[in-house]
Structure formats: structure tokens, C-alpha cells
Structure 1
Amino acid sequence: MRIFDSHVHSSNSPDAESSVMLLCEQAVAAGLSGFCVTDHCELEEYESGQFAERISQSIFDVGKAAKVFQGRLTLHTGVEISGVHHRPELARQVAGRPFDMILLSVHNDEDGTDIFYHPFDRWTPQEIDRYLTYYFTSLLRSMQLGEFDVVAHLTYPIRYITGRHKIPVDLGRYSDLTDAILRLAAQEGKGLEINTSGLSGPLADTMPPAPYIRRFRELGGEFVTIGSDSHQIHTLGAGFDQARQILADAGFGSYTFYRERHPLLIQIEEKGVVNV
């Protein structure tokens, strides 16, 4: 069984704890074929968070580890960029670095506050509605700049609104926006991520859920990555069986990983890598 995890954070992300070397050791022990290190780059906090230095260190660490684990593990260099709609020129600058894959996210609101810290349990339904409209609109605006390969965790705020605070949300209210996101990704040949991090938490689902993967397929989407969004070594490669089943049920015969910004396919039925 080939497992390539396309969303992994090392200690070069402010909220992660494991070195790239330690992640590699765990990946080999767990039988993974490879993974992509996608450390955070929060553009709203680029200077104060020292993300230029963090990115450089991440690239260096991946290059070093790739030599040490050559022949045992495929290791790729990536980045997860958030805030593209706020700082597009900086996003273009960051995207010029030698990455294998760029994940696109929206983590923060207009004033730079991370979704993680929002007290959704004290918000009115109208405030939550305004926030979700802002989130999906911002993601669509960020996509239109084109400096990415894969849309990460499409329904990310639900991890906190429904998962943490148990507030039900009718995502169908935002179908015009989510359809626009999925359609643009499909038309531009971009990828969509199945983020498995919610499976083991209170959300108990992938981000996005299975219906969005089916809809992406209906709109002509071809490339879907699977990412654990691991911030600790014990979650590396988690949830892949469920993700592959979601893909198969949606009509996909493969999932995707990226090398030098180019999509490669891993067939779900263990037939190896297909160049596209």
C-alpha cells in the first residue's frame, strides 16, 4: 500500500513540534512511501513570525533529510500559504521558492486573527454566517491569483465551529461559493485536498466531507491529494484508508502528489505511480 502524505508540518511551523529527521524516522517505521513537508507561511504575520527564515530552514532540512533517507523514503518540499488575498505580491515572491507543492489556505480573518482563537460559541448565527461567507470568499479571491497547486482543507472553519463548539452548520447555504471554488480548481487544473485531520478529533470527518469530492469530480476535477495535516509524528499518514474510500466512491481511480509543481498519480488499486 503506497502512502504519500501531502500535508505535514515540521518544527519549522510555529505550531508543530517534530524535526524533519524525526518525521522521516516515523514515516519509515510506519511504512509510508513518502511525504511532503508543508510548513506554514502566514503572510499577514510574515515579518513578525519570521516566516522567511522558517521557510529557508524548512527547505534546508528537507534537502538534508532527503539525502539521509535516499532509497527508503520520497521526501518533497512544500509550503502552506495563507493570506494570499491580503498580500498578493508577497505571495508571488514566496511561490518563487523551489517547492514541489504549494498548498493554499485561509487561516486568518481581516485583522490577522487565526480561526483557532474565535469564540464561535459566543457568536450569533448571523455572525457565524458572515464569517463563513468571508472565509469562502477570501479563499476564492486567493485562488484567482493562481500562486498555488492545491486547495487545502476547504471546510476548515467547521473543524472549530462544529467540531470544537458543536454548532451545526448548513454548508448548503454556501454552495454558490464552494461550487465556484471547486469549478475554478477544476478548470485551472488545480488539486483539492482531502484533509484527514478531522477524522480522529471531535469533527469525525474529513475536510472537506465526501460530497465535495464527488462534486469536484462532477465539475471535471482530476487531482486530489491526501494530507494528514500532521503536527505530531503519531498522526503522520493517518486516515488514508478512509480517504481512499472516499475517492473510490467519488469515481477517482487515483490520488495525487506533486513533484516540482507537477502532479503525479498513485493508483488506489496498488498499480504504482502514473505520470500525467
Structure 2
Amino acid sequence: MIFDTHIHTSFSSDSKMNIKDALDKAKALGIGLVITDHMDLNYPDKDKFKFPVADFFKSYEPYKSSSLLLGIELGMDTGYEAENKNLIDTYNFDEVIGSQHFLHGFDIYDASLYREKTKVELFRDYFLEIIASLKTHSYIDTLGHIDFISRYCPFEDKEIYYNDYCDYIDEIIKLCINYDISLEINTRRLGMAKSLNSLVSIYKRYKELGGNYVTIGSDAHTVDSIGLNLDKGFQIAESLGLKPIYFKNRSSEYIK
């Protein structure tokens, strides 16, 4: 079964999606889902991007099946590695996505982050932050949306070009391989040709350096986005010889 391995529901502060609606859409598409709601312990508003994990499992375990798994998207931060590790050791998540949502103390969504530095400076700092986070969060299963900053930066050209940041991207890839962390093909931006091409160059380099495994997820926050561009994600994986996987009980399973 094909899995969409990155899905947000109403336990995420930025989603109102009901689990039953998500399951209905998945059934219509003939795919499985991994629910990965946001947990950013470093988020400055204590009431946002955090959820009561016990309530999450109590609410969703009745729906758990071979086609509905329960994971988490963990906001990585070098000041929260111990708290993050304790969280995932305490609960039985199927999958742990590690994501870089903050830079220089700012939410990457926050326009204030982009006021004083150039694109080159900020993208360099972003990759350096991912490197630092991976070194302190080697226990994650997959690295989420390496192009996250491209979604929200205000620059005319938002794309990541491998050749401009090759040393940093190579270091990220090598850390993922050394720590047995898969790389996510996040399909949210694959509908744009320029974005697709820039991302393919990164996934190609991942393969060249010895990477083999990718998770493929839409990062859906609404029902209509479930399964978005998954076909493109699987096409990328096939063209590069990468093996799509999902995680069940923190162990990788091949998608055939």
C-alpha cells in the first residue's frame, strides 16, 4: 500500500482537519496515512504547536490499523534535544519526522527573520541550523521538508540550488546516512516545475552519496491536500533508484 507519510489533523495548531474526514479521503484515494501532528516545544507561544500526547493517542488509537499509523512531526532545536528525546521515548509513535521550523529564534514563517540578511546568508544559516539539529537529534526517523524555508521566504527566487549550497547540503545528507535517517520527499511544492527541478538535484545527490530510503508525504493540513503530488514524489524516487518507505513502530517498511 502507498502511504502519505506526513499528515496534520486538528491536534496541530495550523490544521482543523477531522480524523474521520482524513480517513474517508484516504479510502477514496486507496492510500494509507501516517498522522504526524506538530510538536514544537520551542514555540514561544506555549499554547501553540504543542498537543497533549496522551489525548492524541486516546483519540486516535481506535482508528489505528494497517493503513492508519500514528507519528509526530518534531520541531528540532538544539536547546530542546533532551525534551524531544524524552517525549518520543515515552510514547509509542510509529514515525518521527524531524523538521527545522525555526532559525535565529524566529519561526521561519515570520517575516521579521528576513529583514536584515540576504537570501544567501539566510539559506546558509538555515542549512547550518539543520546540521546542528541533526547532530543533536540523531534519533529521528526522517528529515522533513529540506525546502521548508523556500515556502515562506520573501525573495523573488525562493528556490534552493544545490550548487550554491553544496557543502552544507552534502553535510546534511551525510549526517542522515550516518544516523540512518531517511530523507523526506515532501510533495507540497512539486507541482511547480522550478521547485521540482531544484529538489530533484538534492535527491539525486542524496543517492550519489549513498542514500537509499525516502519517505513521501504531502504535508497535508486540509482534506483536499491529502495525497497531493504523491505521484510526482514516487516518480522521483523511481527515476533516481530511491526506495520509498514508511515507518511502523519506528521500523521502516518498504512501499511496494
Q: What is the SS of the residue equivalent to 2:165? A: helix
Correspondences of 1:73-222 after superposition (within 5 Å): 74-96=67-89, 97-111=91-105, 113-118=106-111, 123=115, 126-145=117-136, 146-161=138-153, 165-168=155-158, 170-200=161-191, 205-206=195-196, 209-222=199-212
Segments of structure 2 that go 5 or more residues without pairing to the other structure are none
Partner Cα distance (1:190, 1:137) in 2: 17
Between the two proteins, the alignment pairs up a number of residues equal to 253
Partner Cα distance (1:260, 1:171) in 2: 33
Partner Cα distance (2:96, 2:248) in 1: 11
1:11 equivalent in alignment to 2:4: no
AA at the equivalent of 1:155: D
Across the aligned residues of Structure 1 and Structure 2, the Cα RMSD in angstroms comes to 2.4
Q: Give structure 1 regions of 4+ aligned residues with deviation exceeding 6 angstroms.
A: none
Partner Cα distance (1:238, 1:110) in 2: 31
Residues 1:53 and 1:115: Cα distance change in structure 2 (over 3 Å): closer
Q: What is the SS of the residue equivalent to 1:7? A: strand
Residues 1:61 and 1:260: Cα distance change in structure 2 (over 3 Å): same
Partner Cα distance (2:81, 2:110) in 1: 24
TM-score by length of 1: 0.83
Residues 16-38 of structure 1: CA deviation (Å, up to 9, x unaligned): 11122221111112221x11100
Residues 194-230 of structure 1: CA deviation (Å, up to 9, x unaligned): 0001134x68635971111111111111210000000
Alignment correspondent of 1:58 = 56
Q: Is the 8 A contact 1:154 1:208 kept in 2?
A: no
Alignment correspondent of 1:271 = none
1:21 equivalent in alignment to 2:14: no
Q: Quote the offset at 1:187 in angstroms.
A: 2.2
Correspondences of 1:24-43 after superposition (within 5 Å): 24-32=23-31, 34-43=32-41
Alignment correspondent of 1:262 = 251
AA at the equivalent of 2:229: G
Q: Is the 8 A contact 1:20 1:61 kept in 2?
A: no
Q: Is the 8 A contact 1:43 1:82 kept in 2?
A: yes
Q: Quote the offset at 1:259 in angstroms.
A: 0.5
Q: Quote the offset at 1:245 in angstroms.
A: 1.2
Q: Is the 8 A contact 2:162 2:202 kept in 1?
A: no
AA at the equivalent of 1:209: L
Q: Which has the larger displacement, 128-137 or 41-50?
A: 41-50
